[in-house]
Structure 1
Amino acid sequence: MKKLLQILPVLLALCLWVSCKDTKAKSQRIMPVEILADGDLVFRRGTGLLSHIVTSASKDGVYSHIGILKKIGDEWFVIHAVPDEPDFEGDSDRVKIDSLSRFFMSDRAVRGMIARITEDTLAASKAACTAWEMARRGILFDHDYNLADTSRMYCSELVEFAYRKAGICLSEGRRTQIHVPAMGGTYLMPDDIAHNRKLKIIYSFP
């Protein structure tokens, strides 16, 4: 009995390690990276308060965030404008680059989709390059959500802007009217872009 008590902490630690390892594995989503392309649109429904406000206020309330895919080396990355996801202490809210797996981690996304604009693959590649350049320049996040000011960007504004530079209007003019105290006004939401009829879904979860 005494010997059992001595090894019990070791067994408990081992069980916890296995459990944490299993949980981490479950948080990784398997994605068909072999069929992805520069400029593919990446949507997610987040887990935070802002995501809940966005989806609750939006008419359809499916997705709360959007970014653009670009392959760098052998890996796929998402370029997106996002608040409250610093890479280091003191990091500003800005246009940033995250790995696709990090973008879809289970603590950041409860729902997700990757879609492709079928109209023009060259334009999609150009849009990805525009977004990349904006991330490289460190464009800050637009906390005023002002579409008339392109010196700062919020997520759907960035994607719309990048594709407009390539000659495509993803939203097709759609806007969402929101009537809540925290976000009253007219906004370009991820769902306004997701409703583009030329988008082809190539991956989604759950």
Structure 2
Amino acid sequence: MKRKLKFIFLYFGIFLFTLWGAFQLFFWIDTQEEKKQVIKDTYLERLSPSQEKLLQEGDIILRRGYGFFSDIIAQRLNDDTFDVTHSGILYRKNNQWWVIHSLSSDVSPIDGMQEQPLGTFLKYSTPKKILIVRPKHITPTEGKEVVKKALYYLHQKIPFDHIGTIDDPSALYCSELIYQILDNDLHLISFPTEKKERKDTFYTMKTLYDPSFFEIIINTYPEK
């Protein structure tokens, strides 16, 4: 009996290892395809100089990324107008625009909180699929407070939230970072408090361009 159980555990372990390997291989292939697309589109303009002049610290940048998982997010977490898949917070560093955001180690060398020059962040965006949004009625001073909180989570090296537990800042996915700062930390936006409605609000990209909460400052999507 003990020998039989050992074989069962052995085969189960091999199965899990094979499944994990296949999962990692899929991510690797998807990442390689993304890199090819990034190189192909490198010299295509994402934001014009005149558009960049409209930016304020604390603005939210939304992009449509490349790859299979971006396709899933684009289809399932958006409406018929936009198909954004990733978000970050804009701020000024060394007189340049930078983005603070959170990415999974499945698609990034760093798991969780990280920062990038805006130009680098934009390279991973599908051209003509970018939104810049701003919390309604926010002041420039409040925008700087948003940046301070984002820098705090960055310096704390908060990991990516792979499980999707909202209202827990010990791990944050990209849009959760924004909800955490604007609602729980700074109380600049009051999102729904009822459990199911709150989850429905946080488990979608649509909230980030919902006119009830945000104003669209820049929209590079082609007019339909």
- 4+ runs of 1 displaced by more than 4 Å? 170-177
Structure 2 unaligned residues grouped into runs of 5+? 1-38
Alignment of 1:167-178 (within 5 A): 167-169=187-189, 171=191, 175=198
1:128 to 147, 158, 161: 147
Would you say 1:100 and 2:121 are equivalent positions?
A: no
CA-CA distance at 1:78 after TM superposition: 0.9
**Cα distance change, pair 152–113 in 1 and its aligned pair in 2 (3 A):** same
Deviations 1:26-50 (A, max 9, x none): 2564242222111101111111222
**Percent of residue pairs bearing the same amino acid type:** 24
Would you say 1:73 and 2:98 are equivalent positions?
A: no
Is the 2:209–2:216 Cα contact (8 Å) retained in structure 1? no
Is the 1:81–1:96 Cα contact (8 Å) retained in structure 2? yes
In the alignment, what sits opposite 2:30? none
**Cα distance change, pair 97–59 in 1 and its aligned pair in 2 (3 A):** closer
Instruction: Provide the rounded CA distance (Å) in 2 between the counterparts of 1:94 and 1:146.
Output: 14
Is the 2:103–2:110 Cα contact (8 Å) retained in structure 1? no
AA partner of residue 197 (structure 1): S
2:218 to 178, 203, 206: 203
In the alignment, what sits opposite 2:70? 51
- Partner secondary structure for residue 163 of structure 1: helix
**Cα distance change, pair 50–194 in 1 and its aligned pair in 2 (3 A):** same
CA-CA distance at 1:116 after TM superposition: 1.7
Could you tell me the TM-score, scaled by structure 2's length? 0.67
**Cα distance change, pair 160–205 in 1 and its aligned pair in 2 (3 A):** same
Structure 1 unaligned residues grouped into runs of 5+? 1-20, 178-185
Is the 2:167–2:180 Cα contact (8 Å) retained in structure 1? no
In the alignment, what sits opposite 1:188? 203
In the alignment, what sits opposite 2:84? 63
Deviations 1:154-199 (A, max 9, x none): 011101111121212265566565xxxxxxxx85322112104352
Q: Higher strand share goes to which structure?
A: 1
CA-CA distance at 1:22 after TM superposition: 9.8
- Partner secondary structure for residue 43 of structure 2: helix
**Cα distance change, pair 59–120 in 1 and its aligned pair in 2 (3 A):** closer
CA-CA distance at 1:85 after TM superposition: 4.4
- Partner secondary structure for residue 109 of structure 1: coil
How big is the alpha-carbon RMSD for the aligned residues of Structure 1 and Structure 2?
Answer: 2.6
AA partner of residue 33 (structure 1): E
Could you tell me the TM-score, scaled by structure 1's length? 0.72
Alignment of 1:128-167 (within 5 A): 128-164=147-183, 165-167=185-187
Instruction: Provide the rounded CA distance (Å) in 1 between the counterparts of 2:116 and 2:155.
Output: 13
Deviations 1:55-108 (A, max 9, x none): 22225162211111111121011111112443xxxx331111111122121x43
Instruction: Provide the rounded CA distance (Å) in 1 between the counterparts of 2:190 and 2:64.
Output: 19
Q: Higher helix share goes to which structure?
A: 2
